Amino acid sequence: MSILVNKDTRLVVQGITGKTGTFHTLQCIEYGTNVVAGVTPGKGGQMWEGKVPVCNTVAEAVKEYGANVSVIYVPPAFAADSILEAIEAEIPLVICITEGVPVRDMAEVRRRLYFHNTKTRLIGPNCPGIITPGECKIGIMPGYIHKPGRVGVVSRSGTLTYEAVWQLTQRGHGQSTCIGIGGDPINGTSQLDAVRMLNEDPNTDAIIMIGEIGGSAEEEACAYIKQHVKKPVAGFIAGASAPKGRTMGHAGAIVSANGAGTAEAKFAAMEDAGVSIARNPSEIADALLKIYKPNT
């Protein structure tokens, strides 16, 4: 069991007929995800790969095929518009994989999410997606490294999440749900949002949070963990060796000139919140297993 996505998820893929959309949708279907429709404006009525009906609009995918989660693979210039379309179709969960969305577009999307009684949660953009192992995979993560279980994982980074998940799986510990929140400075779901959901999930027993330099998302999550989370939490922050003022690949990964957002500040917040710290990315699972002793 899990948060946000499971075997009852009915997925619509925005940008299903594109190269990226096609490749990853095939992978997700192979994993067992229930893809009920795709959206490519102008291609409505077609059958994608002979198996999934294509709609012109997200609203149609909701009405005709009962879609309740959307994933977005459209190019960066159109990604914000696609998110807004999904919000207006009142899809409860939207996952935007697209990398390179203009920050100004995301500022507008964030307003729409926060101030109009929105029914939608957005994950991403610039993220690997979300997976509830054994039930539903949405996004670009490799399915086979995961295993059903009771550890929740939230992360700003894709491959670093795979690293942590693979460590867990190799040590025999499965995952409830793994969420990649993405590496952009303005996104839909924060570390805090994800940690809160995993904390409230009865089927998650322990949490791993993986952060990066830049911003204060990890500090905010740690303040919540200190107050409310009784489940064991382990954490890692990437970017301790990064120089100030340079953006390290992710637009959000930057230590500002005045030193805000450093790895040291984030590790300190974790320490203060009682989070078991991995100083090294190879030890993320071990950091959790130091404080988490499952019965099995």
Residue 243 engages another protein in binding (rule: CB under 8 A): yes
Residue 281 engages another protein in binding (rule: CB under 8 A): yes
Provide the β-strand partners of residue 37: 12
Residue 279 engages another protein in binding (rule: CB under 8 A): yes
DSSP state, 272? H
Residue with tokens 């696609």: 82
DSSP per position, 140-208: SS-GGG--EEEEEEEES-HHHHHHHHHHHHHTT--EEEEEE--SSSS-SS-HHHHHHHHHH-TT--EEE
CA atoms of 198 and 219, how far apart (whole Å): 17
The residue within the footprint of another protein, chosen from 133, 185, 232, 235 (CB under 8 A), is: 185
Residue 47 engages another protein in binding (rule: CB under 8 A): no
Q: Name the active-site residue from 24, 146, 173, 250.
A: 250
Give me the amino acid identity at 279. Answer: R
Q: Which of 109, 251, 277 is nearest to 261 (CA)?
A: 251
Provide the β-strand partners of residue 24: none
Residues 101-130: x/- map of binding to another protein (CB under 8 A)?
A: xxxxxxxx-xx----------------x--
Residue 183 engages another protein in binding (rule: CB under 8 A): yes
4 or 181, CB closer to another protein? Answer: 181
233 or 248, CB closer to another protein? Answer: 248
Q: Give the contacts of 131 (CB within 8 A, at least 6 positions apart).
A: 5, 137, 138, 139, 141, 143, 146, 175, 177, 178
Residue 70 · residue 58 · CB < 8 Å: yes
Residue 251 engages another protein in binding (rule: CB under 8 A): yes
Subset of 133-172 contacting another protein (CB under 8 A): 140-142, 144-145, 155-163, 166
Asked about 146 being catalytic, the answer comes back as no
78 or 294, CB closer to another protein? Answer: 78
Residue 216 engages another protein in binding (rule: CB under 8 A): yes
Residue 100 engages another protein in binding (rule: CB under 8 A): yes
Residue 240 engages another protein in binding (rule: CB under 8 A): yes
Catalytic residues: 250
Residue ranges that bind another protein, judged by CB under 8 A? 23-24, 76-77, 100-108, 110-111, 128, 140-142, 144-145, 155-163, 166, 183, 185-186, 210, 212-213, 215-216, 236, 238-243, 246, 248-253, 257-258, 263, 279-282
